[in-house]
Amino acid sequence: MSSDHQKNGKSTCGQVSRRSFLRQGTSVAAGLAAFTAALKPLADLKPEDLPSVDEFLQKHYKEMSSDEMSQALKRISDKVEKRFEIRPDIKDIKAKDGVEFVYALNLTRCIGCRKCVHACVAENNQSREPEIQYIRVLEMPKGTLDLEQGNHHYDKPQVPSQDHFYMPVQCHQCANPPCVKVCPVEATWTEPDGITVIDYDWCIGCRYCEAACPYWARRFNFSEPKLPKKDLNPNMSYLSNRPREKGVMEKCHFCLHRTREGRMPACLEVCPVGARKFGNVLDPESEVSQILKNKRVFVLKEDVGTLPRFFYYFDEQHPRLKGDQQL
Amino acid sequence: MNDHLKHKGSKRNAAIRRLIWPVFLLFALYFLLGSGEVVVPSADVVAISPSQIAIAPMRKVLGDPPLSKINGFERDCLECHEIFNTRDDVDSQSVNQHDHIKMNHGLNKECLTCHDRENRNLLSLYGNDTVSFNKVEMLCAKCHGPVYRDWQKGMHGKTIGYWDESSGEKIKYTCTQCHDPHSPSYESMAPLPGPNTLRMGEQDSEGAHLDRHTPLRTWSRGHETHNVQEDH
């Protein structure tokens, strides 16, 4: 071998040195081994983990024809039946004309019992492990609205505490929603009745919306959602409480499968003190319209310009009871 | 000059090439020996019984006439009160048949402020006006005007069922379905479990994560030892 060849570290055509053969051969073998090892998790995939051709070709919610939607609903029903051994009653309920939903919450009444949190979980088929809750109840010292002082891990034997008030926070269904703006695939959007929804089959799990939401209302399925068979709520709809997959976002949708059929949301019905109010704000006689008209109402983080459809309000205090705990 | 640069470059390439295979081998070992399964730590599930989130009025409301069970039979008030005389000066603490009633209604302590003297199946309004037990809100409105106004408009109280009355029935709770008329303020209750947000395993006790402002916390009753009053 000439010194010229050695200098370049290359051998002439047809001549492979023992050293370079070993070196390059081992590199290739190690590379292949690393590649195979990196693909190892694929070996754990079961056939049912892979989407079917129909599921793979399923269109965005807004682009589906009614035929395609009924096929999609049947696919989802089959899947749910296979997993939970119960045939769900799954529908695609459209928004009604002349309806815009608004939620109002009376901070004077809320006692922080967290019944709404758990009624929501039971209604909406959230993962029990890891735990996903849409509503967070903040315990706030009286006399401030500084959220930094809020504590959602309060653990008193009895509520309410004398020195605190309680502020439940959930999706505010903003009229100017930052979560919708940041979604790169338009998997989340605002419906005509004001509910911001998610197409769980279109979500890519980038979590931009979670970062954009100023109310920490969105939840991510970091691992496979676990839901015991007996706890499944079979009354479900495409855009609300059908079981979610790992890697998608979810959040409060004002119990869309109930409210679009005229019913009240689950968190409202369970509230033992009647602090929660829900209705159609376009109807001037509805409870929420009356509250917006007559009560002292505020929205959370008004300065960020999200225009929430979720309002907090107070009752007026009787002069004789001022400074007293009872209102 | 050019030759010199070329020589230097090839020397570096050779060094990199020599390093490639041990690096690949390390990666291969890492992937092969690693379990490949990602375990997301999650806290234990706290079970909630359906009764804890049942939807029912806090109290049963009396009809017209008001019936209560005495010795297994449903009787209205007049069955006794037609026979017994009524004294003006009694409050509930001194009435032996109704000694389970504990009055805690502010200045309103006497039975006959609300119950009608002549017909005990009715409640008394102003003057000689009376109202039946199933329209109890008219009685409460005597003193609680602003709350009654709010309740009429749906700003106070609880409404369940259907918000859209063309689809179904709207059920509006009356005063006594939530409030005990003899002790109308709400009893405190035990809160249901809080959130388990600790997904990253237990934090060390010296870490800032134990501060109560952190979202990282598992829920367990008695966990919170922080006295908030001391903070402010």
Q: How large is the average pLDDT for residues B186-198?
A: 85
- Tens-place pLDDT, residues B32-47: 776 656 666 666 777 8
Which candidate in B3, B40, B163, B224 is best for mutational testing of the A interface (most A CBs within 10 A)? B163
B189 and A263 within 8 Å at the Cβ level: the answer is no
| pLDDT over 70 at B205, yes or no | no
* A151 contact residues in B (CB cutoff 8 A): 212-213, 228
Interface of B with A in 73-132 (CB under 8 A): none
- The CATH number of whichever domain residue A267 belongs to comes to 3.30.70.20
Instruction: Look at residue A288 in the predicted model and tell me its pLDDT.
Output: 96
A273 touches chain B (CB under 8 A): yes
- Identify the H or E element spanning A167: strand A164-169
Residue A117 resides in a domain: yes
Angstroms from B184 CA to nearest CA on chain A? 10
- Identify the H or E element spanning B169: none
CB nearest to A262's CB, from B162, B189, B192: B162
Phi, psi angles (nearest 5°) of residue A68: -65, -35
Interface of A with B in 220-249 (CB under 8 A): 222-223
- What distance in Å separates the CA atoms of residue A24 and residue A17, rounded to the nearest whole number? 11
Residue A82 resides in a domain: no
Give me A220's structure tokens: 């991510």
B21 and A7 within 8 Å at the Cβ level: the answer is no
B213: confidence class by pLDDT, cuts 50, 70, 90: low
* Nearest CA-CA partner of B219 in B201, B198, B200, B203: B198
Higher pLDDT, A49 or B158: B158
3-state DSSP helix/strand/coil % of chain A, to nearest 5 = 35, 15, 50
Q: Could you tell me the residue ranges of all domains in chain B?
A: 63-156
Interface of A with B in 279-318 (CB under 8 A): 279-280, 286-287, 290-291, 294-295, 315-316
The count of structural domains within chain A is 1
Instruction: Look at residue A113 in the predicted model and tell me its pLDDT.
Output: 94
Instruction: Look at residue B117 in the predicted model and tell me its pLDDT.
Output: 86
B36 and A41 within 8 Å at the Cβ level: the answer is yes
pTM score = 0.82
Instruction: Look at residue B60 in the predicted model and tell me its pLDDT.
Output: 87
User: Hey, is B171 helix, strand or coil?
Assistant: strand
**CB neighbour burial string for B140-154, b if at least 16 within 10 angstroms, e if fewer:** bbbebeebbebbebb
User: Hey, is A34 helix, strand or coil?
Assistant: helix
CB atoms within 10 A of CB B188: 16
Which candidate in B11, B25, B53 is best for mutational testing of the A interface (most A CBs within 10 A)? B53
Instruction: Look at residue B13 in the predicted model and tell me its pLDDT.
Output: 84
The angle, 0 to 180 degrees and rounded to 10, between the axes of the packed helices B2-33 and A18-38 is 40
Instruction: Look at residue B215 in the predicted model and tell me its pLDDT.
Output: 59
Q: How far apart are the first and last CA of chain A?
A: 99
Burial class, B166, CB count within 10 angstroms (exposed 0-12 / middle 13-18 / buried 19+): exposed
B228 and A263 within 8 Å at the Cβ level: the answer is no
B216: confidence class by pLDDT, cuts 50, 70, 90: low
Which long-range CB contacts under 8 A does B16-24 form with residues at least 24 apart? B17/A9, B17/A23, B17/A27, B18/A23, B20/A27, B21/A23, B21/A26, B21/A27, B21/A30, B21/A31, B22/A30, B24/A27, B24/A30, B24/A31, B24/A33, B24/A34
Task: Return the percentage of chain B with pLDDT > 70, whole number.
Answer: 72
Q: How large is the average pLDDT for residues B187-202?
A: 77
CB nearest to A111's CB, from B14, B37, B186: B186
Q: Are A141 and A233 in contact (CB under 8 A)?
A: no
Instruction: Look at residue B224 in the predicted model and tell me its pLDDT.
Output: 41
A130 touches chain B (CB under 8 A): yes
User: Hey, is B193 helix, strand or coil?
Assistant: coil
When computed from its CA atoms, the radius of gyration of chain A, rounded to whole angstroms, is: 27
ipTM of the complex: 0.82
Residue A259 belongs to domain spanning: 101-321
* B13 contact residues in A (CB cutoff 8 A): 9
- What distance in Å separates the CA atoms of residue A283 and residue A25, rounded to the nearest whole number? 77
Give the chain A residue whose CA is nearest to the CA of B168.
Answer: A262
B167 and A262 within 8 Å at the Cβ level: the answer is yes
* Nearest CA-CA partner of A253 in A218, A223, A298: A218
CB nearest to B188's CB, from A9, A158, A295: A158
B92: confidence class by pLDDT, cuts 50, 70, 90: low
Residue A123 resides in a domain: yes
- Tokens 């001022």 sit at which residue? A322
- What distance in Å separates the CA atoms of residue A211 and residue A179, rounded to the nearest whole number? 8
Helical ranges in chain A per DSSP H? 3-8, 18-38, 40-43, 53-57, 66-84, 115-124, 178-182, 208-212, 256-259, 266-270, 287-294
Instruction: Look at residue A61 in the predicted model and tell me its pLDDT.
Output: 96
Would you write out chain A's pLDDT as a tens digit for each of its 327 residues? 444 444 454 545 567 889 889 888 888 888 888 788 778 777 777 777 788 899 999 999 999 999 999 999 999 999 999 999 999 999 999 999 999 999 999 999 999 999 999 999 999 999 988 889 999 999 999 989 998 888 888 888 999 999 999 999 999 999 999 999 999 999 999 999 999 999 999 999 999 999 999 999 999 998 889 999 999 999 999 999 999 999 999 999 999 999 999 999 999 999 999 999 999 999 999 999 999 999 999 999 999 999 999 999 998 776 555 554 443
Give the chain A residue whose CA is nearest to the CA of B34.
Answer: A37
Q: What is the DSSP string of B121-152?
A: TEEE-STT-EEEGGGHHHHHTTT-HHHHHHHH
